[in-house]
Amino acid sequence: MNYFYFPLEEWTNDFVNDWLLPVMGGFFDSISVPLRSFIDGVTNLILAIPPEIIAVLLILLAWKLAGKGTALFTLIGCLYIGSVDLWAETMQTVAIVIVSTIIAIIFGVPVGILSAKSNVIDKIVRPILDFMQTLPIFVYLIPSILLFGLGGVPAVIATFVFAAPPAVRMTRLGILQVPQEVVEASKAFGSTSKQLLFKVQLPLAVPTIMAGINQTIMLALSMAVVASMIGAPGLGSIVLSGISTVNVGLGLIGGLAIVVIAIILDRITQGIGNKL
């Protein structure tokens, strides 16, 4: 089938080495510096709070939003994480999840709104989202190290790429799901498009958007191990060192902690969606 040679490989390498790194390096620094301090800020903040307070807050939240069972599970889960001495690592992972999710929301919700309002934008956005979700992670993981260095920043970027699409898709879906007559009624009484968006479409889309954010959080957590491969601290690195030293026990306690956190965050964010 090779009728001609398509030098995509060489072009890409030339592009990265001759232009992206030397010319755009400053630009990427300007992203990575504030992002790094954002991640550090969040990490330091939640590490500065005594674990007991965080645990109590989580349990109360779980109770309010998801019921007694989840509250009990949260209590046991927090005790487990403390007792296997993984609290700090857990908080580091949670920090990366929080930062990636916030960025995913900041980017995903507006893009979702735009693609709900315009078919053209939707046609452009949709393949990009497919690309983001299906491109093997390692393909962009390595370049993101080149561009952003090791540590939390490329981890957040890679996590964002993988986890943002549900936020976009579900925002769009949530807005399009608003019954036609409700939208018409609002217009018929003289709403501007801004009023329509903020008084009708977004409030009614919130449960769906929350479901999207819930998925974003789950996907972000599932990236924890991958993120640790590029130097992000946290539970992923525990699992990774468990695997690489054939320390099955270490791998298990780290892995279980990820599952515990995943379940707690899932139930709480679902609870928010249902309450709204």
Partner 1 sequence: MNKIEVNNLTKIFGSHPQQGLKRLKNGEQKSEILEKTGMTVGVNQASFAVKPGEIFVIMGLSGSGKSTLIRLVNRLIEPTDGEVFIDGEDITKMDKNTLIDTRRKKLGMVFQKFGLLPHKTILANVAYGLELQGVSKQEREQKAQETIKDVGLSGYEDSYPSQLSGGMQQRVGIARALANDTDILLMDEAFSALDPIIRKEMQDELLKIQNKLGKTVLFITHDLDEALKLGDRIAIMKDGRIVQIGTSEEILENPANDYVSNFVKDVDRSKVLEASHVMKKPEVLLTYKDGPRVAVRKMEEAGVSSIFVTDKEKNFKGLITIDDAVKAYQNNIPMEEVLITDNIYSTSPATPLNDLIGIAADVKYPIVVVEDEKLLGIVSRVSILSGLVLGKEKDEVEST
| Interacting residues toward partner 1 by CB under 8 A | 179, 181-182, 184-192, 195, 199-200, 203-204
* Min dist. Cβ of residue 215 to partner 1 (A): 23
* Min dist. Cβ of residue 169 to partner 1 (A): 22
* Min dist. Cβ of residue 214 to partner 1 (A): 20
**Cα–Cα dist 244/247, whole Å:** 8
**Cα–Cα dist 17/86, whole Å:** 40
**Cα–Cα dist 273/83, whole Å:** 31
Q: Which is nearer to partner 1, 33 or 276 (CB)?
A: 276
Q: Which is nearer to partner 1, 120 or 182 (CB)?
A: 182
Q: Which is nearer to partner 1, 47 or 202 (CB)?
A: 202
Q: Which is nearer to partner 1, 79 or 185 (CB)?
A: 185
Q: Which is nearer to partner 1, 104 or 197 (CB)?
A: 197
CA-to-CA dists, residue 84 to 31, 77, 95, 245, 268, angstroms: 36, 11, 19, 18, 23
* Min dist. Cβ of residue 178 to partner 1 (A): 9
* Min dist. Cβ of residue 192 to partner 1 (A): 6
Dihedral (Cα; 149, 150, 154, 159), 10-degree rounding: 170
**Cα–Cα dist 114/92, whole Å:** 33
